[in-house]
Homo-oligomer: A and B are copies of this chain.
Amino acid sequence: MKNGKATIHDIAEKLQVTASTVSRALNNNPRISDATKKKVLKAARELNYQPNNIASALRSGRSKLIGVVVPTANRNFFSSVIRGIEEIANSVNYKVVISQSYDDYEKEMQTIEALLNVQVDGIIASIGKTTENVDHFKKIIKKGIPLVLFDRVTNELDVSQVVIDDYYGAFQATEHLINEGCKRIVHFSNSQNINIYKERKRGYEDALLKHGISVDPELIRFSKLQLEDGRASMQEVIDAKIPFDAVFSASDYSIMGAMQVLKENGYKLPQDVKLVGFGDEPFTSFTEPTLTTVNQKSIPMGNITAETFFEILNQKDQTNIISKKTILKPELIIRNSSLNQQK
């Protein structure tokens, strides 16, 4: 019992039983009498025993750790999904190891390597923006380790995934703007290699077409969708004197940039230009006017992702794992930035 760290052997010695008995008692094995169990539990408490998960993991082959890879935890959406995952994981005594890829391909590979090294029982991930090659994910699958993707997924991998209906969200958002009388709606998008942005753009376009408005490529601006990108894109449109009466951005950050630039250029919001973002970041309710945006159902998404994960983990022996895709409906949160009639 060096270092003040008691093991089952210390308990065993104290009680003059074997470590096997202690182990079984602690795991509430029916082969051990209640009397012995009580004694063991008592001794464990007295010795301040802390189970060594590592030893347990080595023997049982289960670390009870889930690796979660997100681009950044510093985003309301991702941290909420993580929270949703944790809720489920903790309820079955699993712990979550959060890894940030910082949207960097190299870092994403390293982080997955590191997670496999620490022997996580499986990985839940949202793919980084710069990731175009998914071999590192294939490696996970090849090792037979459960993998579930959420939000930023890919079709190149035959794995279970949980996404929101980006198409639907964008369609709703765009249709809402049309219903408020907008006809020249600017759209901020990101690389079309990233599924979510592709889908959002498709939703935007289909909503326009449904209402007999043709898609004008001049109105669609591609960028990384950061605040600065939103500023730049908006300024470009203004400078090019392209007429417009609304902006629907695939990100709340870039719509903020647009809002700033519009104000700086003397536009009145929402009278002159109506705005809708995507993501429902907390700051969207702080802005002036408050921002209409699309809520991505992050906590439920986390819950469902974790549940899907455990389904796979528990049926893992069976060879035929069916990968399923769960699609959640996002919700349009209507605030003042898109309304003629302020509420």
Residues of chain A having any CB pair with chain B under 8 Å: 3-5, 48, 50-55, 57-58, 63-65, 72-76, 79-80, 82-83, 86, 90, 95, 97-100, 102, 110, 114-119, 139, 142-144, 227, 256, 259-260, 263, 282-283, 286-288
CB distance from A297 to the nearest CB of B (A): 16
CB pair A50 B117 closer than 8 Å: yes
Q: Across the interface, which residues of B come within 8 angstroms of A260, CB to CB?
A: 286
> Complex Cα distance A263/B290, Å?
13
CB distance from A126 to the nearest CB of B (A): 15
CB pair A256 B286 closer than 8 Å: yes
27 residue pairs A–B, Cβ–Cβ below 8 Å: A5-B143, A50-B117, A52-B58, A52-B117, A53-B117, A54-B119, A55-B58, A58-B58, A63-B118, A64-B118, A65-B118, A72-B79, A74-B75, A74-B83, A79-B79, A90-B110, A95-B99, A95-B118, A98-B98, A256-B286, A259-B286, A263-B288, A283-B283, A283-B286, A286-B287, A287-B287, A288-B288
Contact for A286 among B48, B52, B54, B227, CB less than 8 A: B227
Q: Across the interface, which residues of B come within 8 angstroms of A90, CB to CB?
A: 110
CB pair A3 B144 closer than 8 Å: yes
CB pair B74 A95 closer than 8 Å: no
CB pair B50 A143 closer than 8 Å: yes
> Complex Cα distance A52/B143, Å?
13
> Nearest CB to that of A63 among chain B residues?
B54
CB pair A86 B58 closer than 8 Å: no
> Nearest CB to that of A283 among chain B residues?
B283
Closest 6 CB pairs of A and B: A74-B79, A283-B283, A73-B73, A98-B98, A53-B117, A54-B119
> Complex Cα distance A151/B141, Å?
40
